[in-house]
Amino acid sequence: MLSGLPVALAMIFKWALVAAICFGIGWRLLAALFEKELALWEAMVLFSCLFAFAGMAIRLSESALFFPFLLLTGILIAGLRYYPRILEEKRRRSIIAEDLQRCRQALDFDPLNVAAYSLMGDIYMRLGELDEAIANYRKAIELDPKASAEQDKLEGAMREKAMLEGKAMFCPRCLAPRPKETNVCQNCARPFSFDETVSANFCGLPQGERYRYIAELVGGSILLLMLALFMPRWLTLLIFLGLSGYAIGVLRKLSKW
């Protein structure tokens, strides 16, 4: 029993790794399906690929090809998904850097140029550097206290910063505050996504209930790993399916107001 314990633990670790990968990808596919980003047939094809991946990974879990298989699959998925975006982002940042350089040249010529500070704030917003954007909008308002457009931009940048820091829930499109029990932005009519609704609902739960959900999911996962050491594989699979069903039930509850 003791000599087989490290082998069993290694196998459980591999199964848990495959389960975590499948859960993450499955979560994203479900979110895309609920948000109408994918048609039903597209989601079914992708879930079939996910099941094929899980089956192949479990089949290779007892061989030395397990981790190379995971690595190769991850590289393939990342390459197909992110390489075009990386090229586009590099091109976009190059154009933005040129615009930023022109603004700095304008400020070297005229340090009191309100338009240049405002444009620099816009550029930093596009880069996602909110602190720099806020500083430039404030400088523009300092030079021209009547600059209402820059005041609106400053408020928008500060709202976005508060949203990213998790201090409040805002609409990603117009940055208007999100009231409770709403699935559509009251300002721009943008529907809130599955992920945003789950996040807002979870943050709105009482602290004790949040801890209860986390404790139940973590405790169930630990129990599953412990039982997998001594139980037959088919019984472990049934327990895993039960825990997955509970997790899906929690997500369905949190995805609705």
**56 belongs to a structural domain:** yes
Residues 56 and 100 in one domain: no
Q: Determine, yes or no, domain membership for 128.
A: yes
What local confidence, expressed as pLDDT, does residue 226 receive?
Answer: 65
Q: Is 210 part of a structural domain of the chain?
A: no
Q: Are residues 24 and 93 in the same domain?
A: no
**Nearest 5°: phi and psi at 131?**
-60, -45
Q: d(Cα 176, Cα 20) in Å, to the nearest integer?
A: 35
Please report the pLDDT score of residue 233 as a whole number. 67
CB 176 within 8 A of CB 187: yes
Give residue 181's pLDDT.
Answer: 66
Task: Note whether 48 and 115 are same-domain residues.
Answer: no
Is 52 within a domain?
A: yes
- Helix axis angle for 114-127 and 148-164, nearest 10°, is 20
Same domain, 49 and 96: no
Give the C-alpha distances (Å, rounded to integers) separating 135 from 75, 157, 158, 206.
39, 10, 11, 36
- Give residue 172's pLDDT: 62
Residue at which a domain ends, from 112, 138, 168: 168
- Same structural domain, 97 and 58: no
| Structural domain includes residue 129 | yes
Residue 102 sits in the same domain as residue 141: yes
Q: Is there a domain that residue 162 lies in?
A: yes
Query: Domain residues for 141?
Result: 86-168
Whether residue 69 is contained in a domain is answered as no
Q: What's the total number of domains in the chain?
A: 2
- Beta-carbon contacts of 150 under 8 Å, excluding residues fewer than 6 positions away, are 114, 117, 118, 121, 137, 140, 141, 144
What single DSSP character describes residue 193? P
CATH number at residue 140: 1.25.40.10
Sequential pLDDT tens for the chain (257 residues):
444 556 777 777 788 888 888 888 888 778 777 777 777 887 788 888 888 888 888 888 788 888 888 888 877 777 666 666 666 777 777 777 788 888 888 888 888 888 888 888 888 888 778 888 888 888 888 888 887 888 888 887 887 776 666 555 666 666 666 666 677 777 777 777 777 777 767 766 676 777 777 777 777 766 666 666 666 666 667 777 777 777 777 777 776 65
Burial class (CB in 10 A: 0-12, 13-18, 19+), 170: buried
Domain annotation covers residue 22 = yes
- The alpha carbon torsion through 243, 58, 45, 73 (nearest 10 deg) reads 120
What pLDDT shows up at residue 230? 63
SS3 184: strand
Cite the DSSP H helix spans in the chain. 5-34, 40-59, 66-109, 114-127, 130-143, 148-164, 194-204, 207-228, 233-254
**pLDDT given for residue 2 in this prediction:** 40
Whether the Cβ atoms of residue 5 and residue 58 lie closer than 8 Å to each other: no
pLDDT at 1 (0 to 100): 40
The residue out of 114, 146, 168 marking a domain boundary is: 168
Q: Let me know whether 90 and 157 are in one domain.
A: yes
Q: Does residue 2 sit in helix, strand or coil?
A: coil
Which of 168, 193, 217 is the last residue before a domain boundary?
Answer: 168
Q: In whole angstroms, what is the distance from residue 140 CA to residue 153 CA?
A: 11
